[in-house]
Structure 1
Amino acid sequence: MGGYVLGFQEIDQTQVAIVGGKGAHLGELSRIEGIRVPAGFCVTTDAFRRIMAEAPSIDNRLDRLSRLNPDDRETIRTLSAEIRWIIEGIAIADDLAAEITLALARLGEQAAYAVRSSATAEDLPTASFAGQQDTYLNIVGPAAILQHISRCWASLFTERAVTYRLRNGFDHRKVHMAVVVQQMVFPEAAGILFTADPVTSNRKVVAVEATLGLGEALASGLVNADAYKVRDSEVVAKAVATKQLGIRASPGGGTHEEAIDPERQDQPVLTDAQVVRLAQLGRRIEAHFAHPQDIEWCLVDDAFQIVQSRPITTLFPIPAVDDQENHVYISVGHQQMMTDPMKPL
């Protein structure tokens, strides 16, 4: 494709600076044999830099943001809202819009798409930034997609994203935004898979969460999910939740909440065989990235499609070894205090 747009087939995990964390992982996922990834492309960070260059008034606001305390929520809210308003008001240049529209035409310009933020400080081994920027589902038509690309650029400056960067020491000026445009899938079920148990950190246990409809219901906390644990290709634990609501795609674009039929509310979302098959896909992805993964999946016509994979950032690190022996690691914390009163010196 052109200078501002890269198809997934042109992307690998080394290109975070160009397509952001999410885009780089999707490109790499597309290269793994046996892993299905919905087709798409990335609008690169060069496009974002070009947009930002057309708004010099943002510079002063970025200077002010960088000096704020992360707990100064009111000032952060005000400044970040001003920056988003400026970015969304910048018209996308004709040549850039034409390049995006051409990429859409190759995939089907009247199809539905997910328009997803992909920041350069996102899905990193040490900081996930999960949920800090915006994603828009079931967007139809070139004009709407261009509008939502602008919204994704602006979402680099949501209040929560700005606060997260301040707390974690990321420079606002050094983080850039790419945008993923990906063919929409309309799943019967969706959810999250962890290739290491996020509660116990057991790397031999795969944890799966599943809900009916789009995974957004789970990500937003709208519903309780079925939970499964898999070890050695066997489901070793299962908890089926009551699922009263789901999120579905709306015919005219966007999404809506939908009540689940009462007879389905207490039924398992996945069969045990499907859970085991999903866990095996997770292990294949983990082996490719050589790190435990947090994976977003969809089930369409009994086939699993992967829409994101990122490193799990909360696991206690295990020292690297080059043998096949068993090892025991002990983590020891020590605190010492004096409880007696201290006399004045």
Structure 2
Amino acid sequence: MTSDPQRPASPMIYWYPQLRTTDIPSVGGKNASLGEMISQLKAAGIRVPTGFATSAQLFRDFLHQNQLDEPIAERLAALDTGSATLADTGAAIRQLIAQGSFTDTQQNAMTDAYQQLCDQLGRSNISVAVRSSATAEDLPDASFAGQQESYLNIRGQAQVLHACKLCFASLYTDRAIVYRQEKGFAHQQVALSVGVQQMIESQAAGVMFSLDTENGFPDVVMISGAWGLGETIVQGSVTPDRFMVYKPLLEKAGIRPIIEKQPGNKQQKMVYATGDLPDASSDHTPEKLPFTDKQTVTLPTTEQERCSLVLSDDEILQLARWAVMIERHYGCPMDMEWAKDAQGLYLVQARPETVESQKKQAVLVNYRLKETSTLLLEGASVGSAIATGPVFQINDPHNTEAFPDGAILVTERTDPDWVPLMRKAAGIITDTGGPTSHAAIVSRELKVPAIVGTEHATQTLTQGQAVTLSCAGGAVGKVYEGILKYETQQVDLDAIPHTRTAVMINAAMPDGVFRWWQLPVAGIGLTRIEFIISSQIRVHPMALIHPEKVTDPSVRQSISDLTRNYAHQPDYFVDFLALGVGKIAASQYPKPVIVRMSDFKSNEYRGLLGGEFFELNEENPMLGLRGASRYYHPLYREAFKLECQAIVKARQTMGFDNIIVMIPFCRTTGEADKVLDVMAEAGLKRGENGLQVYVMCEIPSNVILADRFAQRFDGFSIGSNDLTQLVLGIDRDSAELKPLFDARDDAVKEMIAEVITVAHQYGCKVGICGQAPSDHPEFAEFLVNCGIDSISLNPDSVAKGCEQVALAELKFQINTAGYE
């Protein structure tokens, strides 16, 4: 037998460096892909642990020589006719295979290859991962992810042989049988190869996708990770750290386009077991595997591990660059697994992504709750749908008969064993897991909405309790008390008309912004950063700058908990605001994204952690210290500089130079000058690095002195609510005066028409953000006739709004041409 690992040791063995993706019939999808990366991408710097694969023909020979083909066929036929259950069929077939024997030639081929691998790596009895690789696996339209078994930390020839046999048996797990039936694969036409791969002693590991798995947004890399071996993520037993990188800017010099860093709880980790391994010389049934709980051990993580991210920024960017290389090489979005040891990062698997990348329809389905109730739980959302039904808690995935169709499955965690039961569920809620676990992948494929990682679902929810599960709000899924009414809206993207007037969208929360990437819009006309501050940062920025003024010990402790990874607390504010704004900007890059600086009123600022120590008690906050007047005021000036630093980071460090800054509620031109000076001090100077600065037009003075404001700003955005309030002298929140509060009032319209005319004389653009153009066709017609540059709508109103704008443009064209 040759010792050259570049050539097969025998017809039964293939070494990874000699394999390509064209070898799927011989070694299955997983092994062929590993070989492809080692043979074709190693020169690009991608590190993949080496190893070898048994041939699919060896599996077929094993079944034939043990006379198993006919008994297996008989049991599958009984399943098809309904005379045998799925559980009995799978168990019987696995038992048959586990009791089979290798020939001396087969055994020698595998043990010799393992010894050669040990020789290559210069150690005896090295640890290997023994993984199943089906010949119908990892295809662009079928993943088979998690359908067969893998065994970790296998050492010694006897252990390798036994693990290979158990991989053979796992071709007939219950979940694999069901999956093949669903995908239309004939059972006995699928063969199994086994990959024996150098085991990485992982300090951390995880999963990576080259697109957003929730909505198919193609321009990001999603990475999740936890301490120890990656199986805890795959199994869904931990909530991992989550990272996201914007791909188009990765190659730009000096740019670090990380747009999300979300810590998970990571309460446990799987590591190698130490000491003597179990004896594999005796026979074991698949139900009593010697490897399941002996080769690895799950331990609680330390407090430091739970608080720390598993990847540095440099490591996040390196993995993202590898993901882009692999996606380009394979020509399709990819699902990858990574590991990190003391020597650095490795990729240990890569397969085509098979859910979002296969969606070709040009229809966007939006779900919206029509009512709300008590919020019971939150977690990571899988899918973007809403489901209602009674809670049904169950711990045995094989007890499918007990589960009622249309119930909400609630359990500690799900894994691929649960697939037959998951098909019956209207929705799924788990205590643990993340959006890249096998359970989440299968849920997406089944189109069953799921909320994973709620931590307390099994304790909070009771059997039979009526709940509503909503994944319609972005990355955070919510569970509400009772059966709530909801509606769906189907938007035919191809039917949305093109308009000369730029139609943009309003965006507030980074979590849900990628849902709208397919809308044919001209960018984002309004981003309110106060939503990022209140929901994600949660701390008053002045409390971070002057913690000594926060005298309440409980508030100080809460702030300390949130900022525990920051030696300099203000950096916490800058980093999280930059990440939130950057993610929103990424959703439309390179189209413009207008980011309005904070416009909290003093009573709203008081609601932030530590806010009561820095805010005034104003009788009328609506007309008090808000907007521009706050930015240069001694009470907030230092905090405004943090906002500016976050924008600088998002534009310059992260690379999103499509961000336009907007100043709200700017009462006078003198105030404008002061604000622009403070911005420049903080590194955000109008005109430098292409920075444009807009002003909200929401005060009559903005219109009366439009010519002077136009000399200080690059554009105006009409805030119709405040402008209507101040022109008509009506409290916008007054129920009694609500019939009088109307942006279509002639006084308001004259103000709008005036500012558009003057702004255009000075070369400034003018936009408007609000629902009026989509709700009132005559208002859209008025804006178009005035020559407004852009109209920004809520995303679910874009289709209707574009129709109204297109109709208004057509009428304008007819009228100006002199036609009736």
- 1:302 CA displacement: 5.3
- 1:298 CA displacement: 0.4
Could you tell me how far apart the structure 1 residues matched to 2:110 and 2:83 are? 36
Match of 1:249 among 272, 288, 312: 272
The amino acid that maps onto 2:23 is Q
- 1:55 CA displacement: 3.4
SS of alignment partner, residue 15 of structure 1:
helix
Equivalent residue, structure 1, for 2:144: 129
Equivalent residue, structure 2, for 1:286: 327
Q: Within 5 A, what are the aligned runs for 1:102-121? A: 102-108=112-118, 110-121=125-136
1:178-215 superposed Cα distances (whole Å, 9 cap, x missing partner): 00001111111100110111112111111100111100
- 1:166 CA displacement: 1.3
Match of 1:207 among 201, 222, 226: 222
Q: Within 5 A, what are the aligned runs for 1:307-322? A: 307-317=348-358
SS of alignment partner, residue 29 of structure 2:
helix
Q: Within 5 A, what are the aligned runs for 1:78-93? A: 78-93=88-103
Equivalent residue, structure 1, for 2:47: 36
Structure number with greater Rg is 2
**Is 2:274 the partner of 1:236?**
no
The amino acid that maps onto 1:38 is P
Could you tell me how far apart the structure 2 residues matched to 1:294 and 1:3 are? 30
Equivalent residue, structure 2, for 1:269: 310
Q: Is the CA contact (8 Å cut-off) linking 1:58 and 1:83 kept in structure 2?
A: no
Equivalent residue, structure 2, for 1:195: 210
RMSD of aligned C-alpha atoms?
2.1
Could you tell me how far apart the structure 2 residues matched to 1:121 and 1:93 are? 26
Structure 1 unaligned spans of 5+: 320-328, 336-345
**Shift in CA distance, 120/243, structure 1 to aligned 2, threshold 3 Å:** same
**Is 2:341 the partner of 1:331?**
no
The amino acid that maps onto 1:101 is T
**Shift in CA distance, 2/211, structure 1 to aligned 2, threshold 3 Å:** same
Could you tell me how far apart the structure 2 residues matched to 1:78 and 1:148 are? 23
SS of alignment partner, residue 118 of structure 1:
strand
Could you tell me how far apart the structure 1 residues matched to 2:207 and 2:71 are? 40
Could you tell me how far apart the structure 2 residues matched to 1:61 and 1:35 are? 41
Could you tell me how far apart the structure 1 residues matched to 2:83 and 2:216 are? 33
Q: Is the CA contact (8 Å cut-off) linking 1:206 and 1:230 kept in structure 2?
A: yes
The amino acid that maps onto 1:282 is A
**TM-score, scaled to structure 1:** 0.89
1:223-268 superposed Cα distances (whole Å, 9 cap, x missing partner): 0100011012311112101111000011245101011111221211
Q: Is the CA contact (8 Å cut-off) linking 1:66 and 1:172 kept in structure 2?
A: no
Equivalent residue, structure 2, for 1:343: none
Match of 2:24 among 3, 13, 16: 16
Q: Is the CA contact (8 Å cut-off) linking 2:139 and 2:351 kept in structure 1?
A: yes
**Is 2:66 the partner of 1:25?**
no
- 1:64 CA displacement: 4.2
Q: Within 5 A, what are the aligned runs for 1:91-170? A: 91-108=101-118, 110-170=125-185
Could you tell me how far apart the structure 2 residues matched to 1:156 and 1:73 are? 21
SS of alignment partner, residue 21 of structure 2:
coil
Could you tell me how far apart the structure 1 residues matched to 2:96 and 2:184 are? 25
Could you tell me how far apart the structure 1 residues matched to 2:13 and 2:91 are? 28
Could you tell me how far apart the structure 2 residues matched to 1:216 and 1:59 are? 35
**Shift in CA distance, 74/270, structure 1 to aligned 2, threshold 3 Å:** farther
Structure 2 unaligned spans of 5+: 1-8, 119-123, 251-256, 278-294, 366-489, 492-820
Equivalent residue, structure 2, for 1:325: none
SS of alignment partner, residue 305 of structure 2:
helix
Aligned pairs, how many?
325
Equivalent residue, structure 1, for 2:189: 174
**Shift in CA distance, 171/255, structure 1 to aligned 2, threshold 3 Å:** same
1:241-300 superposed Cα distances (whole Å, 9 cap, x missing partner): 111100001124510101111122121111122111110011111111111100000012
Q: Is the CA contact (8 Å cut-off) linking 2:26 and 2:57 kept in structure 1?
A: yes
**TM-score, scaled to structure 2:** 0.38
Q: Is the CA contact (8 Å cut-off) linking 1:21 and 1:119 kept in structure 2?
A: yes
- 1:68 CA displacement: 3.6
Q: Is the CA contact (8 Å cut-off) linking 1:193 and 1:294 kept in structure 2?
A: yes
Could you tell me how far apart the structure 1 residues matched to 2:78 and 2:362 are? 40
**Shift in CA distance, 73/23, structure 1 to aligned 2, threshold 3 Å:** farther
SS of alignment partner, residue 46 of structure 2:
coil
**Shift in CA distance, 130/317, structure 1 to aligned 2, threshold 3 Å:** closer
The amino acid that maps onto 2:218 is R
**Shift in CA distance, 208/243, structure 1 to aligned 2, threshold 3 Å:** same
- 1:63 CA displacement: 4.2
* Percent of aligned positions that are identical: 34
**Shift in CA distance, 112/272, structure 1 to aligned 2, threshold 3 Å:** same
Equivalent residue, structure 2, for 1:341: none
Q: Is the CA contact (8 Å cut-off) linking 2:75 and 2:93 kept in structure 1?
A: no
Could you tell me how far apart the structure 2 residues matched to 1:312 and 1:244 are? 28
SS of alignment partner, residue 236 of structure 2:
coil
- 1:105 CA displacement: 1.2
SS of alignment partner, residue 97 of structure 1:
helix
Q: Which has more helix, going by share of residues?
A: 2
- 1:96 CA displacement: 0.9
Could you tell me how far apart the structure 2 residues matched to 1:200 and 1:86 are? 43
**Shift in CA distance, 102/241, structure 1 to aligned 2, threshold 3 Å:** same
- 1:121 CA displacement: 1.2
**Is 2:241 the partner of 1:226?**
yes
Residue range with higher mean Cα deviation, 264-273 or 7-16: 264-273
Could you tell me how far apart the structure 1 residues matched to 2:258 and 2:84 are? 48
Could you tell me how far apart the structure 1 residues matched to 2:357 and 2:339 are? 29
Could you tell me how far apart the structure 1 residues matched to 2:229 and 2:190 are? 29
Equivalent residue, structure 2, for 1:47: 58
Equivalent residue, structure 2, for 1:340: none
**Is 2:10 the partner of 1:2?**
yes
Could you tell me how far apart the structure 1 residues matched to 2:160 and 2:224 are? 30
The amino acid that maps onto 1:22 is K
Could you tell me how far apart the structure 1 residues matched to 2:324 and 2:66 are? 45
